[in-house]
Structure 1
Amino acid sequence: MAVGLGPLPTLHPVPGFELGIASAGIKRVGRKDVVVMRCAEGSRVAGVTTTNAFCAAPVLITRERLAGEVRYLLTNTGNANAGTGDDGLANAKRSTEALAQLTQVDAEQILPFSTGVIGEPLPVAKIEAALPAALADLAEDHWAQAAEGIMTTDTLPKGASRQFEHDGVIVTVTGISKGAGMIRPNMATMLGYIATDAKVSRDVLQALVRDAANKSFNRITIDGDTSTNDCCMLIATGQAKLPEITAASGELFGKLKDAVFSVFMEVAQAIVRDGEGATKFVTVIANGGGNAQECLDVAYAVAHSPLIKTALFASDPNWGRILAAVGYAGVPELDVSKIDVFLGEVCIASQGGRAASYTEAQGAEVMAREEITIRIELGRGEFSETIWTTDLSHEYVKINAEYRT
């Protein structure tokens, strides 16, 4: 039911970054569910992880190891290894130790990632058995296969790629993501991997992944639930024959930032378009706020309202629900007489009530579209924020009711 999401675009290989996929049969026999990614020696890796206090065992390990040199990233689907206590930590470490033995690197140079059912023991033996096949499959052009290998309830793989030229050298940025439910990232998404062959210092890379995630993955929501396993990694292999980027300034950094932000945005929005049971892709814009946070508070109040989301599914222009959500968003001293609300190009409410020019037919026409914009003009200042969300359908309930069966 993905909205406006088609086949993967061309995903350009990133020199110095290889991906290998294999089947461990974690949840279903024959399914590709283990992905190994290899970074060229000297690569820099930065990342952001979930703010959920019940974060998964692999997230805790990844946080500890990010400060050092990273050579491999190991991902499994079908099991989140979250809510598993000390045994979960031991199992996550055991999986990286098994890969370390096969690759002759230190286990501390391997980052583990898991996604799937929470609370079940990680089937380490199955993962270990699949590692040789994943290593044998390593190739720089296996992005599309890896995008499929990290899927859970996703209906389509998600990826994006950009290239730019600087001083006669082509620089590549390519990324993939997964996620369709339990999405309100407070850093990134359930899983996202973006790589470039640019050479970037660790501090600049970390700032870049944080800023890119804040404007993309941190601006999407499907159901308001923050996953225990959210991780987004940005890898810079340094293979492009260009000077190292050591400051967030200059022409080369500007080009890289544009490309990275563009890839982040595309793979983040793809998650919303493939939201569980989604039939609508919804942009919520809050303009004219006194600060960025109150814009976000208003936008998320609208995006998370079950009444608004079900009205979107029914194509019902029940604009009163939008006014109610704006009103309870918690903006201090909100003057409703200054607020205008738009569905697409149609003004539905103005100065605290129904717009004089509005007709039900106008609202119904907008709500029948697959892609809808809800815009709230607060009239309080110069700040603006945009988030992306979905409707709430029967299928969402069905998918999540049957998730473990």
Structure 2
Amino acid sequence: MFQVIDGDITSPKGFKASGVHIGIKKRKKDMSLIVSDVPAEAAGVFTTNKACAAPVIVSRENIASGKAQAIVVNSGNANACTGKQGYEDACKMVKAVAEELNLSPEDVLVASTGIIGVPLPMETVLPGIKTATAALSYDGGYAAAEGILTTDTDVKKVATVVEIDGKKITIAGIAKGSGMILPNMATMLSFITTDAKIEGGFLQRLLKDTSDRTYNMISVDGDTSTNDTVSVMANGMAENKTLDENHPEIGKFIEAFYYVNEYLAKTIVKDGEGATKFLEVEVINSRTFEEGKTVAMSILNSNLVKTALFGEDPNWGRIICSIGYSEADLDIEQVEVFLGNNDKLLKIVENGQGTDFDMEDMENMLKSKELRIVVDLHVGVEGAKGWGCDLSYDYVKINGAYST
């Protein structure tokens, strides 16, 4: 239905981007700019943390119109918990971009990531916006992916192509995030571009539903950031017929759009701070998606499960315990749990009790970098799937020294 290509946010028609070093960080790129040649339909989802950062507040206000044409992002400083000054600084960033690009400030979104509670160095940021504007390029997507990173070990990017109405439509994205990841309405930072022509209300609903099943189904450490943001711009330059729920080929677009967001969400988890294992938890035969999600996230957020997997210990008691306190309406004696890797699963819990599984076989499977847990609740026909990672010594080292 769609093709995955080696691309980034400038792969769709009519998008330029840049990523530059302006001096917030000592050496690495710390500002990115994403710009559409024409006004775009825009949608966004944001953190539910009540201590949300100033750029989140400003972007929520600006995206209310359903339109945007540029996104400016700085890394190294979250501009969070910075009071009235932080809000004013986020507005100054928006205004500076608008002036450089001859846009309305309401058509500019802003995002920040990094250390909390430190005012933005505006004497660095404002000249930096001029630098980022001058560096804009139709080949600047990779640099932009670099400019949004903090403790990430590598860029996170993806692009897909799908044919609709005989037109080639490209959907692409970049993201950042490796710690403070327990999204609720969004992930750390994720920016999606597409040249599809799409109805704005439908785009917002699609992003919300997709986020609920991708970004909201990942966990690295159980912390919901002050700055979590997912935004998308669709500039219509592919010249397809307007996409909405009634378009005969809308399923193809939804599939490709979902893939881009799931890929980015999973890549964030795989790059979790100090992570050595990637974990997929699938809950089957739940009454509802929400019930399945409750169970899956309870397992993914359990530090005891995370540390057991780091130690390659098939401690089924920790898994069944996390299921039991998930607050899902279930009969523990009906629950079955399977553990293994992508090639093989062993049943480790049946009727709420441990099974006599082959320990040597299990120990060999747990050496894999990618692990799976499948939980069968036996109460319905729905389900949910989520992703997480283990918890290692290095996570503590990274976060113990982060502010320095």
TM value normalised by structure 1: 0.94
By how many angstroms is 1:372 displaced? Answer: 0.5
Asked if the contact 1:348/1:363 (under 8 Å) is kept, the reply is no
Runs of 4+ in 1 over 3 A off after TM superposition: 8-12
Q: Tell me whether 1:49 sits opposite 2:46 in the alignment.
A: yes
Name the counterpart of 2:76. Answer: 78
The residue type paired with residue 361 of structure 2 is Q
Q: Deviations over 1:270-316 (max 9, x none)?
A: 00010000100000111121222222221111111111101110111
More divergent stretch after superposition (335-344 vs 150-159): 335-344
Give 1:172 shift. 0.5
Letter aligned with residue 72 of structure 2: L
The alpha carbon displacement at 1:101 in A equals 2.3
Task: Say whether the 8 Å CA contact 1:20–1:142 is kept in structure 2.
Answer: yes
- The residue aligned with 2:388 is 389
Which residue matches 1:338? 334
Cα distance in 2, alignment partners of residues 292 and 212 from structure 1: 13
In 2, Cα distance between the equivalents of 1:71 and 1:347?
51
* Post-superposition offset of 1:324: 1.2
Structure 1 residues without counterparts, runs of 5 or longer: 1-7
Q: Which residue of 1 aligns with 2:182?
A: 184
Task: Tell me the SS of whatever aligns to 1:144.
Answer: helix
Instruction: Provide the residue aligned with 1:380 in structure 2.
Output: 379
SS in 1 for 2:403: coil
For the aligned residue pairs, the C-alpha RMSD in angstroms reads 1.4
Give 2:62's aligned residue: 65
**AA partner of residue 371 (structure 1):** E
- State the percentage of identical aligned residues: 39
Deviations 1:338-373 (A, max 9, x none): 1111102101111121224x1222321222111100
Conserved 8 A contact 1:348-1:355: yes
Give, in whole Å, the separation in 1 of the partners of 2:261 and 2:224. Answer: 18
Shift of 1:381: 1.2
Match of residue 352 from structure 1: 352
TM-aligned CA deviation for residue 40 of structure 1: 2.5
Q: Which residue of 1 aligns with 2:303?
A: 306
- Does 1:275 pair with 2:269? no
State whether structure 2 residue 125 is matched by structure 1 residue 127: yes
Instruction: Give 1:104 deviation, angstroms.
Output: 2.2
Query: Match of 2:300, as an amino acid?
Result: A
Aligned partner of 2:401 in structure 1 is 402
Aligned counterparts of 1:196 and 1:73: Cα–Cα separation in 2: 14
Corresponding letter in the other structure for 2:291: E
Shift of 1:72: 1.5
Instruction: Report deviation, 1:321.
Output: 0.9
How far does residue 176 in structure 1 lie from its aligned partner after superposition?
Answer: 0.5
Encode CA deviations 1:92-138: one digit per residue, 9 max, x unaligned: 11122222222222222211110000100011121111122211211
Letter in 2 for 1:348: I
Q: Indicate the residue corresponding to 2:236 in structure 1.
A: 238
State the partner residue of 1:324: 321
The DSSP-based 3-state class of the residue aligned with 1:40 is: strand
Q: Deviations over 1:203-252 (max 9, x none)?
A: 0111111122111111111111111101101110110122122x213333
Aligned position for 1:371? 370
Q: Which letter maps to 1:37?
A: I
Give the alignment of 1:207-226 within 5 angstroms: 207-226=205-224
Aligned counterparts, 1:152-163, within 5 A: 152-163=150-161
CA contact (8 A) 1:179 1:271 kept: yes
Letter in 1 for 2:395: Y
1:169 deviation in Å?
1.7
